[in-house]
Structure 1
Amino acid sequence: MFICIGGDLDGEVVYDREGTYFEASEIDASKQSTYNRQSYLVGENIYRFWLCAELSYFEITKIANDHLAQKHPYLS
């Protein structure tokens, strides 16, 4: 997936990033957010997101779970 959650790039899909984090300014100089890569395992599927470092763990987890529940309704 590689969907950005929160911050300046919220909802955008960002591929071609190496490492475990990146700055939104690498994509658009006017953006300020920092993103950390997080993987979620659901059954045998691995889903990857870019999570905004400025959001709380609670907020990020809720949003990521909402995205995953769209693909796997039994999670909601």
Structure 2
Amino acid sequence: MNICIGGDLDGKVFSFNKGLLDANDIEDGKFSKYRRRRSITDQKVYKFWISLDVNLEEAIKRVKLILESFNK
């Protein structure tokens, strides 16, 4: 999936093979920084970019909502 949660790139999808993403590397003038996180559901691995500015609890809620809609 590689969906960005929060920050300047919220909702956008980027697939990079690294652990950190700087929004300015994607779009000039963007300042958010993201860490790639994994979520394992039903033995499937999903990856998300979580903004360092987003509360982890809020990010987990958003990931759950995305996975629920994806798995319908």
TM-score, normalised via structure 2 length? 0.92
Which secondary structure does the structure 1 equivalent of 2:53 belong to?
coil
1:5-62 Cα shifts (integer Å, max 9, x gaps):
11000000001x2321111000011100000000111112111000001011111111
Match of 1:13 in 2: 13
Q: C-alpha separation between the residues in 1 aligned to 2:54 and 2:9?
A: 13
Alpha-carbon distance in 2 for matches of 1:68, 1:28: 27
Aligned to 2:62: 63
Considering only aligned residues, what root-mean-square deviation do their CA atoms show, in Å? 1.1
Mind listing any 5+ residue stretches in structure 2 that lack a counterpart? none
Extract structure 1 runs of 4+ deviating beyond 2 A: none
Q: Identity of aligned pairs, percent?
A: 32
Gaps of 5+ in 1: none
Q: Aligned partner of 1:36: which letter?
A: R
Number of residue pairs the alignment of both structures matches:
72
Matches within 5 A, 1:1-76: 1-15=1-15, 17-73=16-72
